[in-house]
Amino acid sequence: MAGSRHAGKTELLKYLSTFIPANEKVGVYEDNQEIHYRKINPGKKCAEFFVDEKFHIHRLSERDCGIILTGHFVGVRGPEVLDLLNSLSTGASCMTTIHLDDVRGLPDRMYNMLGSCDITERFINNIYKYIDVGVLVECDAKERRRITQMAFYDNEGGRNTCTVLYDREGKTPQQIPEDYQRRFLRYGIENPYQTA
C-alpha cells in the first residue's frame, strides 16, 4: 500500500489482511503496534514481532510465513529493503506500506531506500520479479480515503514492466500481462474490470 502520510495505507493493509486464509501463518513486524492482526483476525495463525535495535527487520528472511510490515519499514535506509526482496525470492508473501505519490515510482523509491550499492540492475529486476501489486491510496481535504491507482509489476523475458490497471485520471488501462491474466483465471476472475 502506497501513499502519503495519513492517506489510509495502514487501514487498507488491515482490511486486506482479513482475506488471508486462516491456515496461513503470518508474521507481523512493527516498530509501533498499528495492525492488531490477532484482534481483527481472531483464530488465525500469527507471530508478532517488535522491530527495534535488538530485533532488526533483516531477521524476517529467517521466518517461513507471510509477512506484514509497518512503521519502521517505511523509513528505513539500508539493507532491510534487500532483505525484504531476498525473503520474497523464497516464495514468502508480503504486504507493507510505503510513501509514494505514484505507483510507477515504487522501484525508484525502493532503490533509493537501499542507499549506495553496486547491485543496481539486479536489485531493480528483483523488484519487478517479486513485487506483484502496488496500490496507491489518497485522502482528500474532507478526509475521504480512496484507492487512486493500482498496478502490476512484472519481469518477463528480462523486461521490467509496470502495468497500471487503474488510475484516478481515468486513463485507458494497458493490456494485462498474460501471466496476470492466468493468475486472475486461477481465481475465477475472467474480467478484472467488471464490478460485482
User: Sign of the C-alpha dihedral, residues 75, 81, 87, 88?
Assistant: positive
CB-CB neighbours of 112 under 10 Å: 11
Residue 2 pLDDT greater than 70, yes or no: yes
Residue 69: what pLDDT? 61
Average pLDDT over residues 107-133: 83
CA 126 – CA 111 distance, rounded (Å): 11
Residue-level length of the chain: 196
Written as nine digits, the cell of 37 is 492482526
Cβ within 8 Å of residue 6, ≥6 positions away = 139
Global pTM value: 0.81
Beta strands 98-99; 133-139: pairing state: unpaired
Average pLDDT, the chain: 80
Written as nine digits, the cell of 88 is 520474497
> Do 167 and 149 touch, CB atoms closer than 8 A?
yes
CA 50 – CA 73 distance, rounded (Å): 12
Predicted confidence (pLDDT) per residue in 58-80, tens digit: 555 445 556 666 543 433 445 67
Beta strands 94-96; 66-69: pairing state: parallel
Residue 50 pLDDT greater than 80, yes or no: no
